[in-house]
Structure 1
Amino acid sequence: MPVIRREQCRTTETPNAVMTTFASPAQGGTGLAVWRVDMPAGRSGPPHAFDTEQVWTVLAGGATVELDGETSEVGPGDTVVMPAGSPRRVHGGPAGLSAVVAAPAGGRAYGVTGDVAPGCAVQDGDKLIPAWTV
Protein backbone atom coordinates (compact mmCIF):
# COMPACT_ATOMS: atom_id res chain seq x y z
CA MET A 1 0.00 0.00 0.00
CA PRO A 2 1.63 3.27 -1.06
CA VAL A 3 1.59 5.81 1.77
CA ILE A 4 3.10 9.22 1.17
CA ARG A 5 4.17 10.70 4.49
CA ARG A 6 3.96 14.38 5.28
CA GLU A 7 7.75 14.73 5.11
CA GLN A 8 7.69 13.27 1.58
CA CYS A 9 5.41 16.03 0.25
CA ARG A 10 7.17 18.52 -2.02
CA THR A 11 6.68 22.27 -2.07
CA THR A 12 7.12 24.51 -5.07
CA GLU A 13 7.02 28.26 -4.65
CA THR A 14 6.14 30.65 -7.47
CA PRO A 15 5.75 34.45 -7.23
CA ASN A 16 1.99 33.87 -6.83
CA ALA A 17 1.53 30.84 -4.57
CA VAL A 18 3.04 27.83 -2.85
CA MET A 19 2.05 24.41 -4.14
CA THR A 20 2.43 21.37 -1.87
CA THR A 21 2.37 18.08 -3.77
CA PHE A 22 0.55 15.32 -1.88
CA ALA A 23 0.56 12.64 -4.61
CA SER A 24 2.08 12.41 -8.07
CA PRO A 25 3.80 9.88 -10.34
CA ALA A 26 7.21 10.75 -8.82
CA GLN A 27 5.81 9.92 -5.39
CA GLY A 28 4.37 6.54 -6.33
CA GLY A 29 1.09 7.58 -7.92
CA THR A 30 0.29 6.58 -11.47
CA GLY A 31 -2.52 8.55 -13.04
CA LEU A 32 -3.40 11.41 -10.72
CA ALA A 33 -1.64 14.42 -9.22
CA VAL A 34 -3.00 16.01 -6.02
CA TRP A 35 -1.64 19.23 -4.56
CA ARG A 36 -2.51 22.11 -2.27
CA VAL A 37 -2.38 25.73 -3.39
CA ASP A 38 -1.74 28.46 -0.80
CA MET A 39 -2.07 31.91 -2.37
CA PRO A 40 -1.65 35.05 -0.26
CA ALA A 41 -4.24 37.81 -0.41
CA GLY A 42 -3.79 40.11 -3.38
CA ARG A 43 -1.89 37.60 -5.51
CA SER A 44 -3.10 36.26 -8.85
CA GLY A 45 -2.01 33.35 -10.97
CA PRO A 46 -1.14 34.06 -14.59
CA PRO A 47 -3.70 33.72 -17.39
CA HIS A 48 -3.17 30.19 -18.72
CA ALA A 49 -4.84 26.90 -19.64
CA PHE A 50 -4.14 23.21 -19.07
CA ASP A 51 -4.55 20.38 -21.53
CA THR A 52 -6.24 18.28 -18.80
CA GLU A 53 -9.19 18.85 -16.50
CA GLN A 54 -8.52 20.13 -12.99
CA VAL A 55 -10.80 20.05 -9.94
CA TRP A 56 -10.19 22.73 -7.29
CA THR A 57 -11.82 22.58 -3.83
CA VAL A 58 -11.46 25.64 -1.59
CA LEU A 59 -10.38 24.78 1.96
CA ALA A 60 -10.01 28.30 3.40
CA GLY A 61 -10.17 31.90 2.27
CA GLY A 62 -11.56 32.45 -1.19
CA ALA A 63 -10.85 33.51 -4.72
CA THR A 64 -12.18 35.13 -7.81
CA VAL A 65 -11.94 32.60 -10.62
CA GLU A 66 -11.98 33.67 -14.25
CA LEU A 67 -12.76 30.60 -16.33
CA ASP A 68 -13.53 30.53 -20.03
CA GLY A 69 -14.93 34.06 -20.04
CA GLU A 70 -16.97 33.74 -16.82
CA THR A 71 -16.09 35.07 -13.36
CA SER A 72 -17.13 33.45 -10.07
CA GLU A 73 -16.43 34.13 -6.41
CA VAL A 74 -15.67 30.93 -4.48
CA GLY A 75 -15.21 30.20 -0.78
CA PRO A 76 -14.63 27.33 1.65
CA GLY A 77 -16.28 24.11 0.50
CA ASP A 78 -16.84 25.32 -3.07
CA THR A 79 -15.44 23.21 -5.92
CA VAL A 80 -14.54 24.48 -9.37
CA VAL A 81 -14.24 22.05 -12.27
CA MET A 82 -11.86 23.52 -14.84
CA PRO A 83 -12.24 21.76 -18.20
CA ALA A 84 -9.19 21.03 -20.35
CA GLY A 85 -8.31 23.89 -22.68
CA SER A 86 -10.32 26.52 -20.80
CA PRO A 87 -8.49 29.80 -20.24
CA ARG A 88 -8.34 30.52 -16.52
CA ARG A 89 -6.97 32.87 -13.91
CA VAL A 90 -7.28 32.63 -10.12
CA HIS A 91 -7.11 35.71 -7.88
CA GLY A 92 -6.64 35.18 -4.13
CA GLY A 93 -9.37 36.75 -2.01
CA PRO A 94 -8.93 39.22 0.87
CA ALA A 95 -8.05 36.32 3.22
CA GLY A 96 -5.92 34.54 0.61
CA LEU A 97 -6.74 31.11 -0.78
CA SER A 98 -6.06 27.54 0.29
CA ALA A 99 -7.35 24.86 -2.07
CA VAL A 100 -6.73 21.22 -2.93
CA VAL A 101 -6.41 20.41 -6.63
CA ALA A 102 -6.63 17.07 -8.42
CA ALA A 103 -5.78 16.49 -12.08
CA PRO A 104 -4.59 13.71 -14.37
CA ALA A 105 -0.83 13.29 -14.16
CA GLY A 106 1.17 14.75 -17.04
CA GLY A 107 -1.11 17.74 -17.59
CA ARG A 108 0.62 20.58 -19.40
CA ALA A 109 0.11 24.30 -18.81
CA TYR A 110 0.32 26.90 -21.53
CA GLY A 111 -0.01 30.66 -21.78
CA VAL A 112 -3.09 32.17 -23.40
CA THR A 113 -2.28 35.89 -23.61
CA GLY A 114 0.70 36.09 -25.95
CA ASP A 115 2.92 37.03 -23.01
CA VAL A 116 5.13 35.00 -20.72
CA ALA A 117 3.03 33.78 -17.80
CA PRO A 118 4.81 35.11 -14.67
CA GLY A 119 5.94 32.39 -12.30
CA CYS A 120 5.43 29.63 -14.82
CA ALA A 121 7.73 30.66 -17.68
CA VAL A 122 5.04 29.52 -20.09
CA GLN A 123 4.67 31.38 -23.37
CA ASP A 124 1.76 31.14 -25.77
CA GLY A 125 2.08 27.86 -27.60
CA ASP A 126 4.73 26.48 -25.21
CA LYS A 127 3.52 23.72 -22.93
CA LEU A 128 5.17 22.53 -19.76
CA ILE A 129 4.38 20.13 -16.99
CA PRO A 130 4.41 22.10 -13.71
CA ALA A 131 6.90 20.80 -11.14
CA TRP A 132 4.17 20.21 -8.54
CA THR A 133 2.37 17.66 -10.77
CA VAL A 134 5.25 15.30 -11.60
Structure 2
Amino acid sequence: MPIIIPEDATIFSVHGSTFRAYVNPGRGSEQLCAWRLEVPARQVGVAHRPDHEEVLLILHGDLAVTLGGVRATAHTGDAVLIGAGAEVRIDGGTEDAAAWVTTTPGLRATTADGEVIVPPWAQ
Protein backbone atom coordinates (compact mmCIF):
# COMPACT_ATOMS: atom_id res chain seq x y z
CA MET A 1 0.00 0.00 0.00
CA PRO A 2 1.44 3.41 -0.95
CA ILE A 3 1.00 5.00 2.47
CA ILE A 4 4.18 6.49 3.87
CA ILE A 5 3.95 7.28 7.56
CA PRO A 6 6.06 10.01 9.18
CA GLU A 7 8.37 7.47 10.82
CA ASP A 8 9.26 6.11 7.37
CA ALA A 9 10.22 9.49 5.90
CA THR A 10 13.91 9.91 5.14
CA ILE A 11 15.29 12.91 7.05
CA PHE A 12 17.90 15.35 5.78
CA SER A 13 19.21 18.47 7.55
CA VAL A 14 20.61 21.14 5.26
CA HIS A 15 21.30 24.86 5.79
CA GLY A 16 19.55 24.82 9.17
CA SER A 17 16.27 23.34 7.92
CA THR A 18 14.92 19.78 7.96
CA PHE A 19 13.63 17.98 4.87
CA ARG A 20 11.47 14.88 5.47
CA ALA A 21 11.27 13.01 2.16
CA TYR A 22 8.04 11.10 1.57
CA VAL A 23 7.69 10.71 -2.21
CA ASN A 24 10.44 10.32 -4.83
CA PRO A 25 11.64 7.73 -7.36
CA GLY A 26 13.35 5.78 -4.58
CA ARG A 27 9.87 5.16 -3.14
CA GLY A 28 8.34 4.20 -6.48
CA SER A 29 7.14 7.57 -7.79
CA GLU A 30 7.77 8.24 -11.47
CA GLN A 31 6.60 11.83 -11.79
CA LEU A 32 6.48 13.48 -8.37
CA CYS A 33 8.64 14.28 -5.37
CA ALA A 34 7.19 15.58 -2.11
CA TRP A 35 8.64 16.40 1.27
CA ARG A 36 7.92 18.26 4.46
CA LEU A 37 10.16 21.29 4.94
CA GLU A 38 10.65 22.38 8.55
CA VAL A 39 12.16 25.84 9.07
CA PRO A 40 13.14 27.06 12.54
CA ALA A 41 12.05 30.49 13.71
CA ARG A 42 14.25 33.30 12.33
CA GLN A 43 16.28 30.89 10.18
CA VAL A 44 17.87 32.69 7.22
CA GLY A 45 17.59 30.60 4.07
CA VAL A 46 19.95 30.25 1.14
CA ALA A 47 19.02 31.97 -2.12
CA HIS A 48 18.91 29.48 -4.98
CA ARG A 49 17.45 28.90 -8.43
CA PRO A 50 15.64 25.54 -8.84
CA ASP A 51 15.60 24.12 -12.36
CA HIS A 52 12.09 22.64 -11.92
CA GLU A 53 8.88 24.24 -10.66
CA GLU A 54 8.09 23.77 -6.98
CA VAL A 55 4.93 24.33 -4.98
CA LEU A 56 5.02 25.02 -1.25
CA LEU A 57 1.87 24.69 0.87
CA ILE A 58 2.36 26.26 4.28
CA LEU A 59 1.22 23.74 6.90
CA HIS A 60 1.78 25.91 9.97
CA GLY A 61 3.56 29.11 10.89
CA ASP A 62 4.73 31.83 8.55
CA LEU A 63 7.59 31.80 6.05
CA ALA A 64 9.19 34.87 4.51
CA VAL A 65 9.59 34.10 0.82
CA THR A 66 11.78 36.23 -1.42
CA LEU A 67 10.98 35.32 -5.01
CA GLY A 68 12.53 37.21 -7.89
CA GLY A 69 13.61 39.97 -5.50
CA VAL A 70 10.13 40.47 -4.03
CA ARG A 71 9.67 39.55 -0.36
CA ALA A 72 6.30 38.44 1.01
CA THR A 73 5.05 36.44 3.95
CA ALA A 74 3.27 33.15 3.33
CA HIS A 75 0.88 32.11 6.11
CA THR A 76 -0.70 28.80 7.11
CA GLY A 77 -2.80 27.54 4.21
CA ASP A 78 -1.08 29.69 1.57
CA ALA A 79 0.56 28.14 -1.48
CA VAL A 80 3.69 29.48 -3.17
CA LEU A 81 4.54 28.70 -6.80
CA ILE A 82 8.25 28.87 -7.55
CA GLY A 83 8.96 28.91 -11.26
CA ALA A 84 11.87 27.02 -12.77
CA GLY A 85 14.90 29.31 -12.81
CA ALA A 86 13.43 31.89 -10.43
CA GLU A 87 15.65 32.96 -7.53
CA VAL A 88 14.02 32.08 -4.21
CA ARG A 89 14.97 32.34 -0.56
CA ILE A 90 12.83 31.00 2.26
CA ASP A 91 13.35 32.41 5.75
CA GLY A 92 11.74 31.41 9.01
CA GLY A 93 9.19 33.65 10.65
CA THR A 94 8.77 34.41 14.35
CA GLU A 95 7.96 30.78 15.18
CA ASP A 96 8.91 27.39 13.75
CA ALA A 97 7.11 26.68 10.48
CA ALA A 98 6.52 23.79 8.09
CA ALA A 99 5.55 23.48 4.45
CA TRP A 100 4.68 20.61 2.11
CA VAL A 101 6.79 20.87 -1.05
CA THR A 102 6.07 19.17 -4.37
CA THR A 103 8.16 19.09 -7.54
CA THR A 104 9.25 16.68 -10.25
CA PRO A 105 12.17 14.23 -9.96
CA GLY A 106 15.65 15.37 -10.85
CA LEU A 107 15.43 18.83 -9.27
CA ARG A 108 18.72 20.69 -9.03
CA ALA A 109 19.30 24.17 -7.67
CA THR A 110 22.10 26.68 -8.11
CA THR A 111 23.10 29.11 -5.36
CA ALA A 112 24.28 32.67 -5.96
CA ASP A 113 27.91 31.57 -5.65
CA GLY A 114 27.46 28.89 -8.33
CA GLU A 115 27.16 25.84 -6.07
CA VAL A 116 24.88 23.23 -7.64
CA ILE A 117 22.71 21.45 -5.08
CA VAL A 118 21.35 18.03 -6.01
CA PRO A 119 18.92 17.35 -3.16
CA PRO A 120 18.64 13.61 -2.52
CA TRP A 121 14.99 14.01 -1.48
CA ALA A 122 14.13 15.07 -5.05
CA GLN A 123 16.02 12.38 -6.98
The SS at the match of 1:95 is coil
User: Which runs of 5 or more residues in structure 1 are unaligned?
Assistant: 115-123
Structure 1 equivalent of residue 100 of structure 2: 100
Seq. identity, % = 29
Shift of 1:128: 3.3
- Give the Cα–Cα distance (whole angstroms) in 1 for the partners of residues 6 and 62 of structure 2: 25
- Give the Cα–Cα distance (whole angstroms) in 2 for the partners of residues 95 and 5 of structure 1: 25
Shift of 1:104: 0.6
Runs of 4+ aligned structure 1 residues displaced above 3 Å come to none
Structure 2 equivalent of residue 127 of structure 1: 116
What TM-score, normalized by structure 2, do the two folds share? 0.92
Give the aligned CA root-mean-square deviation in angstroms.
1.4
User: Which runs of 5 or more residues in structure 2 are unaligned?
Assistant: none
Q: Are 1:17 and 2:11 an aligned pair?
A: no
Q: Which amino acid aligns with 1:129?
A: V
Question: After superposition, where does 1:1-134 map in structure 2 within 5 Å?
Answer: 2-112=2-112, 114=113, 124=114, 126-134=115-123
Q: Which amino acid aligns with 1:81?
A: L
- Give the Cα–Cα distance (whole angstroms) in 1 for the partners of residues 5 and 93 of structure 2: 30
Aligned residues: 123
Shift of 1:9: 1.2
The SS at the match of 2:37 is strand
Q: Which amino acid aligns with 1:132?
A: W
The SS at the match of 1:77 is coil
Q: Which amino acid aligns with 1:65?
A: V
